[in-house]
Structure 1
């Protein structure tokens, strides 16, 4: 029809104005289509809105990372080693680290002592807490007020005088405090106590990015966003069958095929635009709720979630444009005639060759980067994104062909099976679209699981500590001797044994010695935790016999030799330089293979073998063996540490230590995967409800003819289970191929973590099972004879 109501002639082509009018007509049909139209529009808007909300969240991630980094930098104390102590002034502040832990949660603590009226305040703090006072984060205030935090209140015996503001915290659930102290004194090097003029470390240079971590970050983003894009493309096609029947009526009154396609695109455009609004509302609601949520010890402030205006504009333009494009492409397979929709006729078989081109092209883009690893430069980010994207898009292209090819060969079986198979044979494309999102998500998750498991050893190092020998270590600051601290820990509840040791240097000259070694001081029981002693009593001295170090120590540490304890290596850092004569009864001891300090060398000395002036010196450590049957044994140890030395560091032993960047990336992956799985579950539920709504008349007819509800319920289950099973098999194959390619790119041996693959496949199946169970109540309500009513 032309703009004046007449028909278009054969040579007449609609212009831009006509296209826009057809799109607007489709949008009006979507809004004014009655109850059915509103339900269809609402389903589309909810589906698109969920995807848009997750896209907006993703666009806000750079802002989140930047905000957390800026907050962390703004409160840094510098931590720059210096051999001199800055002079005291009216704008200086003494600050000491007093970090601790409560169960598995880290607590950031700092002790403060302002030295003048212009001393710098930490970010988020309005005034300095006085001696015996502290300002705390809101999360720590709530924790201290809880019933189960009695031990933590004993460890932090300060009066709460205020709250740390948002500008001084990196997360809404961060546990942090600043406490006032009168007993701080500056140290050369600032290892425990620093004197500073301002917070922040503007001179800090960014670390060189790890190519493998950058690669993993790119893959994580692509694999998390691809299911969202697939879901949005599926959501704009909700209600397709009813829409096509309505378009047939338009053909009857004179619309041509091109006009019907544009009207259909206009309906999809209206749903996409409403979905943009819904997505913005979902995002704003989630933004406000994010402050009350903590995922894997990571929390955010709502102010962090500020998407880039450019990225928001890209989402706002891309989503409606994609809706129109997807609808026009979908309408190419549908012939809308004035007397009906030619959809139920046997369609032409789907072609395989072009579907295989997508994953093959993806592999071709990734292949040139195989073997680069961490030592051959950075990966080409564009090739990585394009290659992974094509492989995952290949899943969505191959799945309809696989479903069609398999269900075409299925036949005999129970009545529920035959109903399901026949429905799939008639509309295999619809079934494939429903499971595309979960298939893409599982394929990406399997690839990432292989990649993370393969490179984990590169970011995990052996600490050399055996948690069976000791469970905790306390590093003292020198405010108390190791012997006194050791006795306090030995009396602590939940402690089976405590080995107290201190270390002091020894050299052959008073300053700049030519030969030097370390002297480890402890009682006989503690020294036996380090070496095999022939016999031991107070006053004994031993030289360690170990390859490469024992001989060097014996060259100048001979019985009767005159040496110096704590010699001066740097004249700007004066030592005690105490003369000491090596005792005559020096004996040899062999280092234990499971020594608590495997890196020591030099001498092992009992306290009375040293001059009295050195017995309070040295770097003190206490190694604690816990009685694990005592609840909160670690907390009792931390309380004792805080009591005997407020600046002591108490930490648990672990056999391995993992890179912080790697652990953060994996945490972000888990958090993102949780959001994507929730979105996929919601999308499957919406898709299932939409499919059931469109089949309401058919289901009611079958019930009216006497079909049992159990049979219909099982048929719906089969209709969901068959495409899901095929989708998960295809996703597993593509995921294994992509994971192998990524491992080859990182120069890592290819290995398959089969338990991880099976668990991820099981998670995908569990999501589908949950969605199916949730759709049963609506299904039972639809299976009523009164559903045959129509208008």
Structure 2
């Protein structure tokens, strides 16, 4: 192969594309737009790893929760941090109170000075929200004066709601994590958590399934205007070029469109990058600076796209004979062979087969085999679809005029019809497989909480030793609250310090205790022993010591002296815990308030269980406002019967965001492809109208030309998607089940995208059917 000859021929093709007049410019522009859309999504996708990395780094940098760590002594380098997180209409609001203990106290990321008491620095999104008309309740809950904004280094997203407020008089307690003393923000000893092999597998499949349609569309985009280009190339044969030189010149034209597509795609990417900083999807937001793809991936895209354009064009030109007097397309083409097309999905299954049954017990999945196997299965769709379309349309019978026009067009150019729907078929196949995988393993990442939202809708955890009875009355008088149940818990040890046996003590009035256990009778001053509870061994130890014990026993010298002696009454009635008890892990002793010494009240930890009236708007927000008023460090949260893994939820959210982008690309690329095909058939359409064909008939023929290949493509995609989903479920050691609702919904979404594109292409079709289309030069 003569490299210089190749370079000269490719360069000549580039010049023809740039100086070929209006036709060449239009073709190159269409190619550039199609390729550019794909390049933009490729760049956005290659930036996702950096998004996840930066978000994690910023989350770690502002970390202010420490577990099982000794409290540092007060010094000029320490700061007190109290957690005041809340929610506003199901959106998390991150809140912190800061109290500097010295002139060198560390500042959290994104904050340049400590706010004074009554002041706060807020994120831009929270500042905007608080200034809106509908945030009156939130302003009551966060009543601080805004004196600044949190910088980007202190936030994980452009729409994150967060604030740091100044405080005075915060107190650190060894047995509470509500107020902490820090010498620096960030986790000084991060622990590497073992990665979940199934989650890694799902992440790999998500990336491959999202990127494959993009690659298919780029390959189709470089073939825009192929028929007109081939006719122009016939002139080159008249001046002495051979068939190989002609193919290289054609590849050069495609290369010009691909190179311009890189520029267009970069512009689209930069626009999308800025737009990404101003939108929020499923509660997730980003800063534009997050979307920085790695230089290696950018270089790979910059090289792969032009190279693919040249390769695809050379392969496409093998089926076209360009002669000096025209292009030979009328000869009956050879029938497409099936055997080699089946090799691709079979090879993909062979690569995935060794990992069937691995689950989590056999280490990580081989990422190369996973990526290769999934790619081959999805590429198999693009290989099988042209054969399927050709085989089916060859057997289609007669019908109406519009049907005959559509069928004849499909019989003449079944390959073009298949190329148009290849991308949507690949996207649907990948989406069906992912839906099966996510639905199959969802139960592994979802656990029952044991809480019944039908009995109680919200729980308020009061900080430290807040007076629970007064708090309970406050909640009872809160707007939108039907009832409030106040309960306190503590510990009773058999020794003052380092007790050998302990038992739980749950305190509440008779109505509250009846929400926990079946009581025979109750009045203030009664104490009950829970039969079969978690504190049976501790109760037996107390009985052996004559019932003498100590409330709030201590385990360190710093807490020494706070123990409260208490003698458990003899002959306690035995009660059984309700299956639907509000408080989990009830055991040991149940006591009414007056049964304990008055000095024991500050040693107890308190919760208030709230039943809300769903007919009252913003009832939950009123409860959170009462929480902030009663106890600024209290936490109010909504009960749910299940809890899902955050990593699983984040991955599913990422899949949704990526799917939205891919569907947008699919729609835009299909529209460009449809317009390009209509433009090439302008004279034919005008001729048919001139001979008396109704425009309605031609419009219906276009719809049929789209409906037939998309139906075949969706059927093939459903089969391949189901097969891939079943294999992936077997790989994760999960029983194979098909969520038919998801399969039908994914298929319906694909059909809806194509139908929308077809409808949008009808107005240009009407304009192309005018007699002016018969004019030629």
Fold shared, TM-score > 0.5 on shorter chain: yes
Partner of 1:691: 677
Deviation at 1:28, TM superposition (A): 1.1
Inter-partner Cα distance in structure 2 for 1:465 and 1:371: 34
Inter-partner Cα distance in structure 1 for 2:496 and 2:602: 20
Inter-partner Cα distance in structure 1 for 2:566 and 2:538: 18
Inter-partner Cα distance in structure 2 for 1:452 and 1:397: 27
Partner of 1:55: 42
Give the aligned length: 777
Equivalent residue in structure 2 for 1:273, among 235, 239, 259:
259
> Aligned to 1:616, what secondary structure does the other structure show?
helix
Equivalent residue in structure 1 for 2:63, among 76, 79, 82:
76
Deviation at 1:575, TM superposition (A): 6.3
Inter-partner Cα distance in structure 1 for 2:499 and 2:456: 35
After superposition, give the CA deviation of every residue in 1:37-86 in whole Å (9 maximum; x if it has no partner): 1111110000000111111111211221111111111111141323x432
Structure 1 segment 515-664 matched on structure 2, within 5 A: 515-546=501-532, 549-550=535-536, 553-554=539-540, 556-557=542-543, 561-571=547-557, 573-574=559-560, 576-584=562-570, 586-664=572-650
Partner of 1:3: none
Partner of 2:124: 138
Q: Is the 8 A contact 2:478 2:622 kept in 1?
A: yes
Inter-partner Cα distance in structure 2 for 1:744 and 1:326: 35
Partner of 1:490: 476
Q: Is the 8 A contact 2:533 2:587 kept in 1?
A: no
Structure 1 segment 192-341 matched on structure 2, within 5 A: 192-341=178-327
Partner of 1:169: 155
Inter-partner Cα distance in structure 2 for 1:21 and 1:478: 80
> Aligned to 2:459, what secondary structure does the other structure show?
strand
Deviation at 1:570, TM superposition (A): 4.3
After superposition, give the CA deviation of every residue in 1:271-323 in whole Å (9 maximum; x if it has no partner): 00000011111111111222111111111111111111111111111100000
Inter-partner Cα distance in structure 1 for 2:537 and 2:169: 43
Inter-partner Cα distance in structure 1 for 2:495 and 2:65: 35
Inter-partner Cα distance in structure 2 for 1:288 and 1:456: 34
Q: Is the 8 A contact 1:81 1:190 kept in 2?
A: no
Q: Is the 8 A contact 2:360 2:732 kept in 1?
A: yes
Deviation at 1:116, TM superposition (A): 0.8
Quick check: 1:22 aligned with 2:9? yes
Structure 1 gaps of 5+ residues are 1-13
Q: Is the 8 A contact 1:133 1:158 kept in 2?
A: yes
Structure 1 segment 387-786 matched on structure 2, within 5 A: 387-478=373-464, 480-546=466-532, 549-550=535-536, 553-554=539-540, 556-557=542-543, 561-571=547-557, 573-574=559-560, 576-584=562-570, 586-786=572-772
Inter-partner Cα distance in structure 1 for 2:566 and 2:353: 67
Q: Is the 8 A contact 2:37 2:268 kept in 1?
A: yes
Partner of 2:146: 160
Inter-partner Cα distance in structure 2 for 1:414 and 1:189: 82
After superposition, give the CA deviation of every residue in 1:605-635 in whole Å (9 maximum; x if it has no partner): 0000000100232111111111111110100
Inter-partner Cα distance in structure 2 for 1:57 and 1:202: 32
Inter-partner Cα distance in structure 1 for 2:189 and 2:472: 40
After superposition, give the CA deviation of every residue in 1:684-718 in whole Å (9 maximum; x if it has no partner): 00000000000100000000000000000000000
Deviation at 1:237, TM superposition (A): 0.2
Deviation at 1:513, TM superposition (A): 2.3
> Aligned to 2:603, what secondary structure does the other structure show?
coil
Inter-partner Cα distance in structure 2 for 1:556 and 1:77: 40
Deviation at 1:553, TM superposition (A): 2.6
> Aligned to 1:487, what secondary structure does the other structure show?
helix
Cα pair distance change 1:443/1:156, threshold 3 Å: same
Q: Is the 8 A contact 1:512 1:569 kept in 2?
A: yes
> Aligned to 2:464, what secondary structure does the other structure show?
coil
> Aligned to 2:240, what secondary structure does the other structure show?
coil
TM-score of the pair, normalised by structure 2: 0.98
293-302 or 365-374: which moved more?
293-302
Deviation at 1:167, TM superposition (A): 1.0
RMSD: 1.4
576-585 or 343-352: which moved more?
576-585
Inter-partner Cα distance in structure 2 for 1:557 and 1:410: 90
> Aligned to 2:169, what secondary structure does the other structure show?
coil
After superposition, give the CA deviation of every residue in 1:209-233 in whole Å (9 maximum; x if it has no partner): 1100000000000000000000000
Deviation at 1:485, TM superposition (A): 1.0
Inter-partner Cα distance in structure 2 for 1:333 and 1:453: 44
Q: Is the 8 A contact 1:559 1:582 kept in 2?
A: no
Inter-partner Cα distance in structure 1 for 2:545 and 2:62: 52
Inter-partner Cα distance in structure 2 for 1:581 and 1:548: 20
Q: Is the 8 A contact 2:465 2:604 kept in 1?
A: no
After superposition, give the CA deviation of every residue in 1:457-506 in whole Å (9 maximum; x if it has no partner): 11111111111110111111125211111111111011111110111101
Deviation at 1:344, TM superposition (A): 2.6
Inter-partner Cα distance in structure 2 for 1:349 and 1:164: 66
Deviation at 1:558, TM superposition (A): 8.4
Deviation at 1:772, TM superposition (A): 0.8
Equivalent residue in structure 2 for 1:375, among 350, 356, 361:
361
Partner of 2:73: 87
Inter-partner Cα distance in structure 1 for 2:545 and 2:3: 101
Inter-partner Cα distance in structure 2 for 1:157 and 1:20: 70
Q: Is the 8 A contact 1:79 1:190 kept in 2?
A: no
Inter-partner Cα distance in structure 2 for 1:410 and 1:561: 91
Q: Is the 8 A contact 2:65 2:180 kept in 1?
A: no
Q: Is the 8 A contact 2:210 2:427 kept in 1?
A: yes
Q: Is the 8 A contact 1:81 1:189 kept in 2?
A: no
Inter-partner Cα distance in structure 2 for 1:783 and 1:572: 90
Q: Is the 8 A contact 1:481 1:617 kept in 2?
A: no
335-344 or 628-637: which moved more?
335-344
Q: Is the 8 A contact 1:545 1:551 kept in 2?
A: no
> Aligned to 1:661, what secondary structure does the other structure show?
helix
Cα pair distance change 1:130/1:390, threshold 3 Å: same
Q: Is the 8 A contact 1:541 1:585 kept in 2?
A: no
Inter-partner Cα distance in structure 1 for 2:18 and 2:502: 86
